[in-house]
């Protein structure tokens, strides 16, 4: 009974992370507008690291399994850089929201990874669910025309760096979730991982240069909100995937695109077309099918 209660609490904490993550796209874009893509990302992870040190506390590195320390660090840092820079490098606010949608392919990839590598049981519903979720992202990238391969290709060609980073990031984060569940052994390295991410971004900023930073009250407010959403969101998610029901969290995470798009559109004052919301609805429908596919065999 105690074990069940602990799992339930951890799952609820993981669901809280989903709410926090839903605000990230709009906030990162707001920060990058003032501090630049690399400099803004470096500041976000620096402030988030300080918040985590004060709340979660320093990571107990000596107690970490070596495999988790190495692979967890590499995958986490690589993903965070892909996420922040893909949004920061977007040419427009609308494109930043679309890039965020590409990044949200990671729940689908995570579910597939759990089935292939961790032996998660499933049913035939996983196939149409996965296809519907991916099709929804393609529908979004087609622009106002919906599912239009030519428009989607032209959209990606306009900024292949941002879209490419977002797609690679989705694959990396799915790997992180799958690997962590197997080798972490209850360890939580989120504070260390954020500090490493901040360090990597500052190295990139100093070595390759970055846009000039413009500091004002609006920029500082965006920075504080983005750092809080990032730091506390990942702290909650780590608790969820280490001690909660990963299947429930992966299924619920399919709803992040809709919440994220709504908040980003509000924060960035960017109207989204009917076709965009149709694609987002497809992603949600796919999430329900994927959740049912794994839930029935649980």
Q: What is the DSSP string of the chain?
A: -HHHHHHHHHHHHHHHHHHHHTTHHHHHHHHHHHH-HHHHHHHHHHHHHHHHHHHT----GGGS-HHIIIIIHHHHHHHHHHHHHHHHT-SSHHHHHHHHHHHTTHHHHHHHHHHHHS-----TTHHHHHHHHHHHHHHHHTGGGSS-HHHHHHHHHH-HHHHHHHHHHHHHHHHHHHHHHHH-TT---HHHHHHHHHHHHHHHHHHH--PPP---HHHHHHHHHHHHHHHHHHHHHHHHHHHS-HHHHHHHGGGHHHHHHHHHHHHTT----HHHHHHHHHHHHHHHHHHHHHHTT-
Residue-level pLDDT at 32: 93
Please state, as a whole number, how many other Cβ atoms lie within 10 Å of the Cβ of residue 281.
15
pLDDT of 291 reads 72
Return d(Cα 105, Cα 131) in angstroms, integer: 11
CB 29 within 8 A of CB 268: yes
Q: Are the CB atoms for 163 and 102 separated by under 8 Å?
A: yes
Of 266 and 78, which is predicted with more confidence?
78
Mean confidence (pLDDT) of the chain: 85
Arithmetic mean of pLDDT, 190-213: 91
What percent of the chain shows pLDDT beyond 70? 96
Return the domain boundaries, the chain. Answer: 1-294
pLDDT score of 4: 66
* Euclidean distance between CA atoms 137 and 101, whole angstroms: 6
- How many whole angstroms separate alpha carbon 219 and alpha carbon 28? 11
Q: Is the pLDDT of residue 35 over 60?
A: yes
* Per-residue pLDDT band at 123 (split at 50, 70, 90): confident
What span, in angstroms and rounded, lies between the C-alpha atoms of 53 and 229? 15
Average pLDDT, stretch 2-26?
84
Each residue's pLDDT tens digit, 81-91:
999 999 999 99
């Amino acid at each position: 009974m105690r074990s069940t209660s602990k799992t339930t609490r951890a799952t609820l904490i993981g669901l809280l992370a989903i709410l926090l993550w839903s605000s990230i796209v709009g906030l990162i874009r707001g920060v990058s507008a003032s501090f630049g893509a690399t400099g803004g990302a470096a500041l976000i992870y620096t402030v988030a690291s300080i918040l985590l040190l004060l709340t979660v506390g320093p990571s107990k590195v000596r107690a970490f399994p070596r495999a988790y320390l190495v692979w967890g660090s590499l995958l986490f840092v690589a993903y965070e850089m892909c996420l922040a820079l893909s949004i920061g490098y977007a040419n427009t606010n609308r494109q930043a929201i679309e890039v965020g949608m590409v990044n949200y392919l990671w729940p689908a990839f995570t579910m597939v990874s759990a089935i292939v590598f961790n032996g998660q049981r499933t049913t035939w519903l996983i196939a149409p669910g996965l296809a519907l979720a991916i099709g929804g992202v393609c529908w979004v990238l087609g622009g106002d025309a919906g599912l239009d391969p030519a428009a989607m290709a032209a959209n990606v060609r306009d900024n292949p760096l941002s879209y490419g980073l977002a797609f690679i990031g989705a694959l990396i984060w799915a790997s992180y979730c799958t690997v962590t569940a197997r080798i972490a052994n209850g360890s939580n390295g989120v504070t260390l991982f954020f500090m490493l991410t901040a360090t990597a971004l500052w190295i990139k900023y100093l070595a390759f240069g970055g846009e000039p930073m413009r500091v004002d009250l609006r920029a500082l407010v965006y920075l504080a909100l983005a750092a809080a959403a990032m730091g506390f969101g990942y702290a909650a998610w780590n608790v969820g995937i280490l001690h909660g029901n990963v299947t429930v969290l992966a299924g619920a995470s399919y709803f992040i695109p809709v919440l994220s798009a709504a908040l980003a559109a509000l924060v960035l004052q960017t109207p989204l077309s009917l076709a965009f919301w149709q694609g987002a609805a497809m992603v949600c429908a796919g999430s329900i099918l994927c959740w049912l596919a794994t839930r029935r065999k649980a």
